[in-house]
Each structure stands twice: as structure tokens, then as C-alpha cells.
Amino acid sequence: MQKNDEIILKITDITNEGSGVGKYEGMAVFTPQTAVGDTAKVKILKVKKTYAYGKVLELITPSPDRTTPDCEVSGKCGGCVFRHIDYKAEAKLKEDKVYQAIKRIGGVDLKPSPIIIPDNTCRYRNKAEYPLNSDGKVGFYAFHSHRVIPCSNCLLQPEIFKNIAEETENWIKENRISIYNETAHKGLLRHLYIRIAEATNEIMVTLVINGTAIAHSDKLIDSLKSVCGDSLKSVQINFNTDNTNVILGKKCKTIYGEDYITDILCGIKVRLSPLSFYQVNRDMAEKLYKKAREYACPQNKNILDLYCGAGTIGLSMAKEAKSIIGVEIIPEAIEDAKFNAKQNNIENARFICGDAAASAEILKNEGISADVIIVDPPRKGCEASLINSITNDFSPERVIYVSCDPATLARDIAIFNANGYILKEYTPVDLFPRTSHVETVALLIRTNQKI
């Protein structure tokens, strides 16, 4: 098989990133925008030693899972890799993805509890971070690139985001606002960043700039007021002059309204700034936290919440728990967590700014005990030193692991298992319908039998 060959390929599996996989002459061929059960004519784009990449030229026999994409940029932007298949098939793929990772990497052959799915697979995101092309059009990056695919009406975003994006595009054109070029590191406007607090309908709009000021912002504010009405609570500038792919800089300036907006999650008021971590799917986050609370059995327990962000998971259990201690390395998140505890009259919560592993060591030296430990790490998972501290120094009855990556979750489950904690139950939760991502909540129980 060589580049530019045209082959007939039967799709038999899906990768973690959402591409279809078929075998041809013993080699795996990865082909985006295909579904299990498809037979397609495929053009080979790149050939490696044991695998190749292709693209569909013609769909010969469609999979029974196929459906017609309802998005004009489906297959072009890097977001909705599953918009061409039925949602039930997508949910089954994600449930199996988690199971296979736990089985192969974690070494535990335990079926998951049924995946928790949303009531709505569209318009669920409460945050958008739009890059802009050279013409000042908002959009999204193409798969594995920084090429912007123009799209103001993303079906994952609330409809009001479309109106905000279009008003911003008009303002850019009328006022000749320069657009940031990441190759030259020149130009002013880097991203348009929008948040909405769904429970209160409060909206925050942030302009991320490569500079210290932006002209004609008063005109944009007037335009935003016209489309958002009283829902517009905050307009801010975020300063990011670094030559980096990181979207947000560390400092913000409010140019209209308040510094924050407020949402309500699991009955807890949550303060949100541009820099606050917050789950992008509020309704599904409530379901995820409900499952975490069910696994934690927090009644009269001392709970240690590591990687706590703005404290939302721990605070959702605070009224039942004996105490909550949250740990997070980002100072702004800790300030949000402290404020959230105060505004909800929660007095049994304490928050510490620091690295999870180092803070766990400090708490151990203070003689702090924990009946339940919650970890919600980034995609890379937990450090081995942290798992060692959890299992040997604290030795809680239960560990609740909230994961955004099945592979690192499975890896860490194997380490927990070697340290005397078995996987009792786990539940996939689809916080990001139509994308390749899936969350998982896992319950690990202490057995005192180390391998």
C-alpha cells in the first residue's frame, strides 16, 4: 500500500479520537468521518510501517448507525467527530471505550454501570473560546491544526453565542481591529471568549488580546447590550502577550459590569471569572456530581478533595459531610472556592492552594485524616507519589476518581490496586455529546491487601 492508493475498506472499529479503523493487507487504516459497518472507497494519505491514514472518496455501503450531519462544518472542524452517527451508537462506543481501557490497561475485567447520557445533545456548552481567522471571522480549529474553520453558529453552543459572535465580527470589521497572527506573533485580538451562567442567564464576554488596550470597546459594549439585554453582566479584557498556544493570560480587566457572573450547581452558588474552572455542561455536571456523592457516602465523613478547582464537587457534599478540605494549585480557583463556600454559608470547608501531592504531604504531617478522598486530576492523571500518599499515609475507606481520560484512569486504577484498593464500580458520564470525550466516575475501596 502506498500514498494515493485507492482501496475498498470495511470499518470495524473506532479510535479514541473518533476515526474509523479498517484492516487492509494486514495494516490498520485510520479514516475520519466513518462509522463501524461502513464500506468505503478510501484514498491513502500517509503510510507508516504498520498503519496508514486515509480519507473517504465514496461511501459504498453505509453503516446502520449513520445519520445525516446537521452542521455545516461537520467533518471540517475538530469538535464533533460523531455528528455523522446516531447518538445511541455514540453512547455505546463511549461506554465500551471506557470498559476496554479499564480491562486492557487497568487489568480489571469489570463491566461499567450504564453510561449516564444527557437529555439534550445540542446547545449544552456554557463556554466558548473562539479563535479568529485573518478576516476577523470566529470559528474553530480544524482537526490537529491551528487553521480556523469559520463558524459562528456552533450547535454545541447556546444560540445567544451566535448573536454575540456576529456582533463582534461586525465590530472588528467596522473598527479595523487587527487579528493576532500566531506565526508572526503580531496583531491584537487573539480570541473571543464567552461564558453563560445557565441558572441565572448571566453572560460574560472576554476579549483576549496581545497588547495592553483595545480601541472602540465602548462600541462593542453597546452592540453586546443590544443582543444580550440585561443578561450581559460582564465584559472583560484578558491580556495574553506571550508567544504561546495557551488561550488565556493571567490578568483580566473589567471594562463593563461586574468582575464575575454567578451560576447555581447542585444548589450551590458558584462565582465564575474568566479564569475560573467550571464544567462546560452544567446539567451533566450535576449528574456527574450526584454519582460522585453516591459513591462517596459523605454523611458525617471527613472528605479530602484534591484538584478541587473552584471547590464545586466538595461543596456539593458539604452539608452532609463532617468536613471538606479542598486542594488546588491555581490561586484564582482557590479564591473562587473560598468565596463559594462563604456565599453559600458553608463553614466546614477549608481550601489550600498548592500541588496535590505536596499538599497531601503537609496535611499528613498535620495529622489530618480522611474517610473519603476525591481526585479529579487533569488528563495526565495522578502522580504516582500522590497515589502512594493517598493509599499509605491517609488510607481512606473510599477513593472517588473523576477522570476525563479513560487511559490514565485505567493506569492509575492498576496502581491503586497494587496499593490495596480495588475498583468496586465505575460509571461513564457523557458530558461532551458528539465529541470524542467522555468522563468517568470510579469508586475504589480499601482492602488492606497490597500486591
pLDDT tens per residue across span 428-448: 999 999 999 999 999 999 996
CATH 2.40.50.140-classified regions of the chain: 1-66
Question: Looking at the annotation, which residues are catalytic?
Answer: 404
Q: For 91-119+281-446, CATH number?
A: 3.40.50.150
Is the separation of the CB atoms in 234 and 205 below 8 Å? yes
Is 60 exceeded by the pLDDT of residue 289?
A: yes
Residue 222: which pLDDT band, with cuts at 50, 70 and 90?
Answer: very high
| Of 14-18, 19-23, 420-424, the least confident | 14-18
Alpha-carbon torsion angle 384, 379, 318, 268, nearest 10: 170
State phi, psi for 273 to the nearest 5 degrees: -110, 175
Q: What percent of the chain has pLDDT over 70?
A: 99
Q: Which residues of 74-108 are buried (b: 16+ CB within 10 A; e: fewer)?
A: bbbbbbbbbbbbebebbbebbbebbbebbeebbeb
CATH architecture of 127-265: Beta Barrel (2.40)
The pLDDT value recorded for residue 450 is 63
Mean pLDDT of the chain: 95
Residues facing 213 on adjacent strands: none
At 451 the pLDDT is 52
The residues, any chain, with a CB within 8 Å of residue 222's CB and separated by 6 or more, are none
What is the domain class of 1-66 according to CATH? mainly beta
In the chain, residues under CATH classification 2.40.50.1070 are 127-265
Residue 18's Cβ-side half-sphere holds a number of Cα atoms within 13 Å equal to 22
Asked if residues 316 and 376 have their Cβ atoms less than 8 Å apart, the reply is no
Separation of alpha carbons 402 and 296, rounded Å: 12
Q: How far apart are CA 379 and CA 403, in angstroms?
A: 7
pTM here? 0.93
The predicted-structure confidence for 131-186, as pLDDT tens digits, reads as follows 999 999 999 999 888 999 999 999 999 999 999 999 999 999 999 999 999 999 99
pLDDT in tens, 354-374: 988 888 888 888 888 899 999
pLDDT tens digits, residue range 102-137?
999 999 999 999 999 999 999 999 999 999 999 999
CATH 3.40.50.150 range(s) for the chain read: 91-119+281-446
So what's the pLDDT on residue 332? 87
Task: For residue 277, name the pLDDT band (cuts at 50, 70, 90).
Answer: confident
| The pLDDT value given to residue 79 | 87
Query: How many Cβ atoms are within 10 Å of 292's Cβ, its own excluded?
Result: 26
Helix (H, G, I), strand (E, B) or coil at 358: helix
